[in-house]
Amino acid sequence: MEIDDLIGAPSAGSRPEPTVADHADVVARVRERSATLDRAARARDLVESAVALLMLPTFTWLAVQVPSPVSKAGAALIAAACVLIPVRFRAARGRPIDPALPVVVALAAERARLEAQAALLRSIAWWYLGPLLCGVALFLLGAPLSPMADVVGALVIVSVGVVLHRANVAAVHRDVDPQVAHITKLMEGIDEP
Amino acid sequence: MTLLPPPPGEGHDADRARMLERILASHSRAIRRIASAYAGATDEAEDLQQEILLRIWRSIPSFRGEAALGTWAFRVALNTALTWRRRARAAPGERATTVEPATQGVPRDASAILAEFMATLSALDRSLLLLYAEGLSASEAADVVGLSPNAVAVRLSRIKRRFTRDHLEP
């Protein structure tokens, strides 16, 4: 017996072939699930846009209105971050990889996407935490608060920054790096006949 | 495998549904086999099958008829299965990813032996064996995976030799 004999052999536990009605039912369920996903994506985009729409004018207005130049700089930095962060997030999401690409091409594209995602998460200190937390720190520093409040505020900001940075680096190490390694292993020797 | 007319627009839900029904009519068994080969456990295979159908549904608007419908559907199914498996490996414990080996001493049917053998293959070789099992020629399989027909033929030959060596020789 060879592998070809197994391929053609009937399976003991095989299910009956689905009917046209079964297919129509499957299509209806798939359509509904797709619509649910679309609604969730629209809700996420709406929340992101709403946060940006709320924060950007608020901090732009504060950058003009507050008397302290240090607070002005902080508010301006936060306003800039409100634009920069969603732009980087959307760039990171990018265009989804076409799932109908040939398998080997799709693997290479997926690896490139994962590597870009890992680079983005590892550099979160520069484009996300840095501008936002520095902005908040400057804003508080220029505000008429006690020196003790400034120290406590600075400590909280630095702690939040360190925790978020470490969480992102750990996420790359845990979730993204193994996937890149797996694709690399899969593609090793792919050119050999 | 036949070429389809120009793709339906994003909003043409009925056309999309008809196209998915055509894919199901021709390839539902193949999709089920792919899901079983990559997800193993029954519940996981069912989930993966749903995921493959969802990906096909969402990709139909971008189908241009440049590849045959079967080739296109196999690509989507295998890419979805490989992504599924990769994510499962990255998050161990969340999903079972291995095909359960048959219990020793219990008579096994052909599909169980085949599933057990497939579980020992690399993801790419597993794809090639699945396509071969669906009756695709080396040239058609090459179109799905993106290798040359010669490379596919050589790999399939190696897979068959390995099966013979592992399972049939004393």
Q: Which of A5-14, A137-146, B102-111 has the lowest mean pLDDT?
A: B102-111
CB–CB contact B145 A104 (8 Å):
yes
Q: What is the mean pLDDT of residues A70-90?
A: 88
Chain B contact for A19 (CB, 8 A cutoff): no
Residues A122-136: tens digit of each pLDDT: 888 888 888 989 999
Across the interface, do A99 and B150 touch by the CB < 8 Å criterion?
no
How many CA within 13 A on the CB side of residue A140?
17
In this complex, how many residue pairs, one in chain A and one in chain B, have their CB atoms less than 8 Å apart? 138
CA atoms in the 13 A half-sphere facing the CB of B26: 15
Find the Cα–Cα–Cα–Cα dihedral B25, B27, B32, B37, rounded to 10°.
170
Least confident piece of the model among A30-44, A88-102, A135-149: A88-102
- Distance from the Cα of B168 to chain A's closest Cα (Å) equals 8
Whether A148 has its CB under 8 Å from any CB of chain B: the answer is no
- Whether A91 has a pLDDT exceeding 80, the answer reads no
Q: What is the pLDDT of residues B22-76, one digit of tens each?
A: 999 989 989 998 998 888 767 888 999 999 999 999 999 988 888 889 999 999 9
pLDDT computed for residue B43 by the predictor: 82
pLDDT band at A75 (very low <50, low <70, confident <90, very high): very high
pLDDT at residue A142 in the model: 87
Question: Around A41, how many Cα atoms within 13 Å sit in the side-chain half-sphere?
Answer: 8
Indicate if the pLDDT at residue B141 is higher than 70.
yes
Q: How far is B105 from chain A (nearest CA, A)?
A: 17
Q: Place B93 in a pLDDT band, splitting at 50, 70 and 90.
A: low
Closest by CA to B134, choosing from B19, B56, B32, is B32
| Minimal CA separation from B110 to chain A, in Å | 5
Q: What is the pTM of this model?
A: 0.79
Residues of A in contact with B17 (CB under 8 A): 27, 31
**B58, B79, B129, B161, best to mutate vs chain A, most A CBs in 10 Å:** B79
pLDDT tops 70 at residue B109: yes
CB-nearest to A31 from B17, B90, B133 is B17
- Nearest Cα of chain A lies from the Cα of B52 at a distance, in angstroms, of 10
DSSP states along chain A: --HHHHHHSPPTTPPPPP-HHHHHHHHHHHHHHHHHHHHHHHHHHHHHHHHHHHHHHHHHHHHHH-S-HHHHHHHHHHHHHHHHHHHHHHHHH-SPPPTTS-HHHHHHHHHHHHHHHHHHHHTHIIIIIHHHHHHHHHHHHHSS--HHHHHHHHHHHHHHHHHHHHHHHHHIIIIIHHHHHHHHHHHTTTT--
Q: Which amino acid is at A23?
A: H
Judge whether residue B10 has pLDDT over 50.
no
pLDDT score of A84 more than 60: yes
Q: What is the 3-state secondary structure (H, E, C) of chain B?
A: CCCCCCCCCCCCHHHHHHHHHHHHHHHHHHHHHHHHHHHCCHHHHHHHHHHHHHHHHHHHHHCCCCCCHHHHHHHHHHHHHHHHHHHHHHCECCECCCCCCCCCCCCCCHHHHHHHHHCCCCHHHHHHHHHHHCCCCHHHHHHHHCCCHHHHHHHHHHHHHHHHHHHHCC
Q: Answer yes or no: do A18 and B24 touch at CB < 8 A.
A: yes
Q: What is the pLDDT of residue B52?
A: 95
Cβ–Cβ contact B25 with A under 8 A: yes
Average of per-residue pLDDT across A68-84: 91
For residue range A7-61, list pLDDT tens digits in order.
766 555 556 666 666 778 888 888 888 888 888 878 887 887 788 788 899 999 9
Which one has a higher pLDDT value, A142 or A5? Answer: A142
Contact A2/B82, CB-based, under 8 Å?
no
Poorest-pLDDT segment among A14-18, B75-79, B110-114 = A14-18
